[in-house]
Amino acid sequence: MNTQEMKLVLCVAWFVELLVFPLYAGELGPRRATMWLYEEWSLENPSCDGNPFDVVARVTFSHTGGDQARTTQMFYAGDDTWKFRFTGTRLGEWRFTTVSGDPELNGHRGTIMVRPNPNPAIKGFLTHKGNRFAIQTGDDAHLEAYRFNVYMNRKQYTGAIIGLPDKPDKFQEYLDDAVRHGFDTVFVHVVNNWFRYGALKHSEHDSKNPDLKTFEALESAIAAAHRRGCRVHLWAWGDESRKWTPIGVGGINGPADRRLQRYIAARLGPLPGWSMGYGFDLHEWTKGPQLDGWSNSLHEHMGWDHLLCARGHRLPARANNMNSYDGFGRGVQLTTTSHGPRDYREIVEVLDADLNRPHFYEERHSYLRKGFRLDMDGTRRLLWWQTMAGGMGGFYGFYPNSPHPYPHPEQMRCVRDFWRGRFLLDMVRANGLTDGLCLKTPGNTTYVFYKEDTDTTRVDLSAAAAPLKAIAVDTTKEYREIVLDSLRPAKQTIKLPARSDWAVAAGSFRRRFRGHSTRESERSRP
């Protein structure tokens, strides 16, 4: 047998081996991935029989260090194609295998080497530490404190998913508008678009399957926000008076709704950059066990946790849920001069009532909302109260009929810019050290003081080991640091340049960039 004949025999033998041992076809090979950016694989399955959205195929990713594993599911992507996704939460090598009753989706395997993300603007998944919001910033054990405030502008952008696939620049404008107002999280409302793109009401469609166009729009928006160091807060549903619910699609947690929940978990679960609330006016059309069932189902199927909430209802504590509130003023309707918590003390009471989960005012603190009248001063002060209390979440912006715009968006930018690198997970309230409000670190190395309508503030730094550098910021203006004389480790009165609302930072903070890029700077990146 000559050389050419030998090569032919070997080629035929190799081809026969592939037919006899199809496991070799399941080798998907190695990949490199970047921390917090998802990878995607596609598999063809032309022999599928039945509803492709009901095919179950699981993928388990295991870190070779043995300290972490994540199981997700594949999702149907149309045209006999199934996909699955992975986002690294631990540096190093991961291995994966697929398991399915469908032979064409079963037995695949591969490896991923996760490398650090060089862009400091890109963070990981939103989570919590105790009752404080936190965001993953390195290997997933490393967390930074996070100020969770959602922005809505339904005056200029509908907030609905409709239009996102056709006008991606419109969503970028929405992000620009949020960043201009000092926010990094935007609101998107989905409702029956889950089942039929363009449908708000369940009476406007007859679909029982997820709509691929809607999910393409959602993942595009989430990824666009994440690239800019921003996030998306979704509302899954609305209320039944508008028919913005799953009630007409087989019922809450019915077969179509459960199918949708599995699809959300498989397709969006691996993507960092989103959180989800169930909807609004929930007391009118849902019951607690239904909301718990929704939350439990999503957490059961998601390989990566996302913060979930149901406005006015406390979801099960065992999952990664936040406490969400649908009213203010200790349950009492407020006067027409305000719209928000009665005072700073009420926010403290809410936070201290549950030290194990983060808290979110999901009633919208919209500007000058009819009947509530939250003005510019009230909006600015509420943002400061929430952080000085320990990190309460909030919801701001405009309804379609709201007065527009905010007269001083620089005041909201000032809140954001001041707290970059200064809001820390280990900070505690220490109001006994001042005639205003105080947060400090346990080692007495860093302090933040806040006082309204004043030109002086008294502080007690007796516990500090040495003099502390200090700056003051007038919170009613664009962010600008005014350097103060070093503060002695003693009781003293700080004289401020003018009467206003002031924040003072004392000590050495690590002021690291947190993102929120403009589109111009984003586009300049290689």
Q: Per-residue pLDDT tens, the chain, 526 aa: give them.
A: 443 443 343 343 333 333 433 444 589 999 999 999 999 999 999 988 899 999 999 999 999 988 899 999 999 999 999 999 999 999 999 999 999 999 999 999 999 999 999 998 899 999 999 999 999 998 777 999 999 999 999 999 887 776 666 777 889 999 999 999 999 999 999 999 999 999 999 999 999 999 999 999 999 999 999 999 999 999 999 999 999 999 999 999 999 999 999 999 999 999 999 999 999 999 999 999 999 999 999 999 999 999 999 999 999 988 899 999 987 544 433 333 344 678 899 999 999 999 999 999 999 999 998 766 789 999 999 999 999 999 999 999 999 989 999 999 999 999 999 999 999 999 999 999 999 999 999 999 999 999 999 999 999 999 999 999 999 999 999 999 999 999 999 999 999 999 999 999 999 887 654 444 433 333 222 2
Give the integer Cα–Cα distance in Å for 270 and 299. Answer: 12
Handedness of CA 7, 11, 14, 16 (dihedral sign): negative
Give the integer Cα–Cα distance in Å for 427 and 147. Answer: 13
**CA-wise closest residue to 441 among 431, 430, 426:** 426
Maximum C-alpha span of the chain: 99
Give the integer Cα–Cα distance in Å for 505 and 274. Answer: 31
Residue 439 belongs to domain with CATH number: 2.60.40
- Which of 55, 80, 115 finishes a domain? 115
Residues 210, 174, single domain; the answer is yes
Residues 106, 159, single domain; the answer is no
Residues 414, 438, single domain; the answer is no
Residues 279, 319, single domain; the answer is yes
Is 522 among the domain residues?
A: no
- Which of 90, 115, 140 finishes a domain? 115
Residue 45 belongs to domain with CATH number: 2.60.40.10
Structure tokens at 146: 């996070």
Q: Residue 451 is inside which H or E element, if any?
A: strand 446-460
Residues 411, 446, single domain; the answer is no
Is 120 among the domain residues?
A: no
Residues 260, 324, single domain; the answer is yes
In which region does residue 397 sit, left (phi positive, over 0), alpha (psi from -120 to 50) or beta (all else)? left
Residues 97, 145, single domain; the answer is no
Is 523 among the domain residues?
A: no
Residues 219, 330, single domain; the answer is yes
Residues 187, 50, single domain; the answer is no
Residues 146, 82, single domain; the answer is no
Structure tokens at 511: 């002021």
Residue 206 belongs to domain with CATH number: 3.20.20.80
Is 4 among the domain residues?
A: no
In which region does residue 102 sit, left (phi positive, over 0), alpha (psi from -120 to 50) or beta (all else)? beta
Residues 201, 342, single domain; the answer is yes
- Which of 372, 392, 419 finishes a domain? 419
**Which domain, by its residues, includes 484?**
428-507
Helix (H, G, I), strand (E, B) or coil at 390: coil
| Domain count along the chain | 3
Identify the bridge partners of residue 61 per DSSP, sorted by sequence position. 70, 96
Is 100 among the domain residues?
A: yes
Residues 285, 188, single domain; the answer is yes
